[in-house]
Amino acid sequence: MRKLLSFIGTGDLRETIYLLGEEEYHTSVIQEALCRHYKPDMVVLFVTTEAKSKNLPVVQAALAPSQPILVDIPDGKCEEEIWEIFSTVTNAVDEGDDIIFDITHGFRSLPFIALLSIAYLKEIKPFTLSGVVYGAFEAGEKISLDNEKSISRAPVFDLSRFVTIFDWMAGIRSFLYHADAGKLVQMIKQVSKEEYLQSQGNIGTRGLTALSGPISQYASSVRLARPVEAMKGAFNIQERLGAATDAINEHTPVLIPLLSRVSEIGNFALPEPELLTDLVIEKQRDLIQVQLDMGLYQQAVTMGREWMVSLLLFAAGAGDQWLKKDARYEAERSLSGAEKLLSSQSRGLPSAGDEEKPEFLDWILRNESWKELAGIWSRTSQLRNELAHCGMNPDSLKVSQLQKQVNKFPGSLDKFYKLMMRETGKSG
């Protein structure tokens, strides 16, 4: 249902020619102009006691024969009354409504209440916002009619584009802090759609639209623990951000500082992340920290364990094999072999000698800190299993205990790196 929400003021209602787009509406009642232009199914008028006695009869007469819904509100003279107005306004919007919000009349706090109400409603119920309008009488020009009567021709501003800033803020926040690209991609598509409808083409927004794919790639890769694709996505974001900024500058320049926040992802950008180098190792470690900061604990621990496998291959001189299944299998067997040996020694048991020795076990055992490496690997594997099995075990850790282990995990990663790279002289 299309609803016009409007406030009845207490000021003098002056005869005005209101301009909405290319149309002109001659009336002293802004609500009449809005009804003729937007053709709402329902009009909701918020009215104070004073406004009810002074201007409401004139407004009702102008809107006849329609019967607007009258909603009483207080004067807004204190914080409690302002909260009451906010509650009343938000309760007037139902799920699925198409809203035109008129803030022409009423108290000075109304624009703030209106914007806050819209932002609030966007979070709790789906609705469509067709306009946030303001009849700018003070911005009008004086003209003379045929009868030589002087009258103001005033524009009606639609401030709804300013509301989209809230959506951009939410989209960028979700992307940066939660690896959720959905809202941001939605906003990019909306800009492209608006450009197409206005010019029958979206050439001007192609630079911005081209950012959607890398943004989605990076976010999904972080959430699905795919570091190589995450770094590729970050690189593509970095490559396309300039063109996207130019597109935004033409459409909504005020959004440039917001969009520039996306450049933070450039910290993880690499053109060839499938080639294992010191930098790839470093950026993968940083991505794990990003996952931890986002609360993606299972993904972080899973990726951290795989990072240890990659680190072993790199340190042992087999970095060119790091994405090959057989090499990773042998590296994992080697770390688990060191873990078993440590367990046997701690219990005073002889080590098994009949099994085929994993390829990198001897290399690990040459490290004077191999026991610490094996211990970190063991604790990481246990933590991964705890997270993966969702507590479906009577001996599972409590959430508080699990959180403590997760909190210690970054330190374990850094210790593992330092000890593992000691043999190469690159541990720093």
For residue 197, pLDDT beyond 80: no
Residues ≥6 apart with Cβ < 8 Å to 390: none
Q: Is 246 exposed, middle or buried (0-12, 13-18, 19+ CB in 10 A)?
A: middle
pLDDT band at 201 (very low <50, low <70, confident <90, very high): low
Same domain, 291 and 401: yes
pLDDT band at 246 (very low <50, low <70, confident <90, very high): confident
Domain boundary among 139, 158, 177: 158
Same domain, 282 and 428: yes
Same domain, 90 and 116: yes
Model confidence pLDDT, tens digit, residues 282-335: 999 999 999 999 999 999 999 999 999 999 999 999 999 999 999 999 999 999
Model confidence pLDDT, tens digit, residues 6-48: 999 888 888 899 999 889 999 999 999 999 999 999 999 999 9
Question: Cα(226)–Cα(55) distance, rounded to whole angstroms?
Answer: 63
Domain boundary among 274, 291, 314: 274
Classify 267 as helix, strand or coil: helix
Residue 236 pLDDT:
94
Question: Cα(310)–Cα(283) distance, rounded to whole angstroms?
Answer: 13
Least confident residue range of 61-65, 90-94, 242-246, 402-406: 242-246
Q: What are the backbone dihedrals phi and psi of residue 68, each rounded to the nearest 5 degrees, phi first?
A: -65, 155
Mean pLDDT of 270-279: 96
Same domain, 244 and 303: no
Same domain, 302 and 412: yes
Question: Cα(93)–Cα(44) distance, rounded to whole angstroms?
Answer: 10
Least confident residue range of 232-236, 273-277, 424-428: 424-428
Same domain, 207 and 308: no
Same domain, 6 and 140: yes
Mean pLDDT of 246-263: 82
Name the residue among 19, 233, 212, 232 with its Cα closest to residue 133: 19
Classify 333 as helix, strand or coil: helix
Domain boundary among 113, 139, 158: 158
Range of the domain at 246: 160-274
Top mean pLDDT of 16-25, 338-347, 372-381 is at 372-381
Residue 417 pLDDT:
97
Same domain, 126 and 179: no
Mean pLDDT of 49-71: 92
Question: Cα(130)–Cα(41) distance, rounded to whole angstroms?
Answer: 13
Which 8-state DSSP code applies to residue 274? T
More confident residue, 420 or 141: 420
pLDDT band at 94 (very low <50, low <70, confident <90, very high): very high
Same domain, 115 and 220: no
Residue 71 pLDDT:
95
pLDDT band at 84 (very low <50, low <70, confident <90, very high): very high
pLDDT band at 83 (very low <50, low <70, confident <90, very high): very high
Same domain, 137 and 6: yes
* Residue % of the chain over a pLDDT of 70: 94
Residue 58 pLDDT:
94
CATH number of the domain bearing residue 121: 3.40.50.10640
Name the residue among 248, 7, 44, 245 with its Cα closest to residue 133: 7
Residue 61 pLDDT:
93
More confident residue, 265 or 252: 265
For residue 251, pLDDT beyond 60: yes
SS (H, E, C) 77-99: CCHHHHHHHHHHHHHCCCCCCEE
Residue 285 pLDDT:
97
Question: Cα(127)–Cα(154) distance, rounded to whole angstroms?
Answer: 29
Number of domains observed in the structure of the chain: 3
Same domain, 291 and 405: yes
Mean pLDDT of 200-207: 62
- Provide the CB-side half-sphere exposure for 278 (13 A, CA): 7
Same domain, 344 and 415: yes
For residue 427, pLDDT beyond 60: no
More confident residue, 139 or 1: 1
Measured from the Cβ of residue 28, the count of other Cβ atoms closer than 10 Å reads: 16
Question: Cα(51)–Cα(75) distance, rounded to whole angstroms?
Answer: 10
Are 325 and 345 spatial neighbours (Cβ–Cβ below 8 Å)?
A: no
Mean pLDDT of all residues belonging to the chain = 89
More confident residue, 211 or 248: 211
Residue 60 pLDDT:
94
Are 310 and 333 spatial neighbours (Cβ–Cβ below 8 Å)?
A: no
pTM higher than 0.85: no
Top mean pLDDT of 104-118, 199-213, 232-246 is at 232-246
pLDDT band at 415 (very low <50, low <70, confident <90, very high): very high
Inter-CA distances, 52 with 114, 405, 413, Å: 21, 64, 69
* Residue % of the chain over a pLDDT of 90: 64
